[in-house]
Amino acid sequence: MLRLWLSPADLARIRFADRLHPAGTVLLASQALRQPSVAASLPTLARRVTSSLPVVRPLHHLTPAEGFVPDFLTPLTGGSSIDGGLAAIRATPARRIRAEVTSAYGRVAVTHARRRFADADPEVLSALLTAMRSFFDQVLAPDWAALNRTHRRIVSEAANHYTFSGADGVLANLHSSIRWRAPVLEVDTWQDGEVRLGGHGLILLPSVFAGPRPRVLVVPERAALVVHPVPPIPVLSPETDPLAGLLGRTRSAVLHHAARPGRHTTSTIARQVGISVSSSSEHLSALRAAGLVSSRRDGGAIVHSVTALCRDLVNP
CATH number at residue 271: 1.10.10.10
Structural domain boundaries enclosing 250: 244-314
**Mean predicted confidence (pLDDT) in 92-109:** 90
Q: Are residues 107 and 173 in the same domain?
A: no
Q: Where a domain ends, among 110, 142, 174?
A: 142
Does the global pTM surpass 0.75? no
Q: Where a domain ends, among 105, 120, 142?
A: 142
Q: Are residues 174 and 220 in the same domain?
A: yes
Total number of domains constituting the chain: 3
Q: Are residues 123 and 174 in the same domain?
A: no
Residue 281 lies inside a defined structural domain of this protein = yes
Residue 27 lies inside a defined structural domain of this protein = yes
Q: Are residues 149 and 7 in the same domain?
A: yes
The predicted pLDDT at position 240 comes to 53
Q: Are 79 and 21 in contact (CB under 8 A)?
A: yes
Q: Are residues 252 and 296 in the same domain?
A: yes
Cβ-in-10-Å burial (0-12, 13-18, 19+) of 87 comes to middle
What percent of the chain clears pLDDT 70, i.e. is strictly above it? Answer: 94
Residue 238 lies inside a defined structural domain of this protein = no
**Using a CB cutoff of 8 Å and minimum separation of 24, what contacts does 184-187 make?**
184/3, 184/4, 184/5, 184/6, 185/3, 185/4, 185/6, 185/226, 186/1, 186/2, 186/3, 186/4, 187/1, 187/2, 187/3, 187/4, 187/214, 187/216, 187/226
Q: Where a domain ends, among 229, 258, 285?
A: 229
Residue 234 lies inside a defined structural domain of this protein = no
- pLDDT, tens digit (0-9, with 9 covering 90-100), for 110-143: 899 999 999 999 999 999 999 999 999 999 998 8
**Mean predicted confidence (pLDDT) in 95-99:** 95
- pLDDT, tens digit (0-9, with 9 covering 90-100), for 7-61: 999 999 999 998 899 999 999 999 999 999 888 888 889 999 999 999 999 999 9
Q: Are residues 14 and 152 in the same domain?
A: yes
Q: Are residues 13 and 155 in the same domain?
A: yes
Residue 305 lies inside a defined structural domain of this protein = yes
Residue 58 lies inside a defined structural domain of this protein = yes
- pLDDT, tens digit (0-9, with 9 covering 90-100), for 227-283: 998 876 544 544 456 676 678 878 888 888 888 877 899 999 988 887 888 889 999
Q: Are residues 36 and 116 in the same domain?
A: yes
The predicted pLDDT at position 312 comes to 64
Q: Are residues 91 and 55 in the same domain?
A: yes
Residue 186 lies inside a defined structural domain of this protein = yes
Q: Which residue intervals of the chain are DSSP H helices? A: 8-11, 22-32, 36-41, 43-51, 53-62, 82-90, 94-104, 112-118, 122-135, 144-171, 244-247, 249-259, 266-273, 277-289, 308-314
Q: Are residues 254 and 299 in the same domain?
A: yes
Residue 97 lies inside a defined structural domain of this protein = yes
Q: Are residues 47 and 124 in the same domain?
A: yes
Q: Are residues 29 and 133 in the same domain?
A: yes
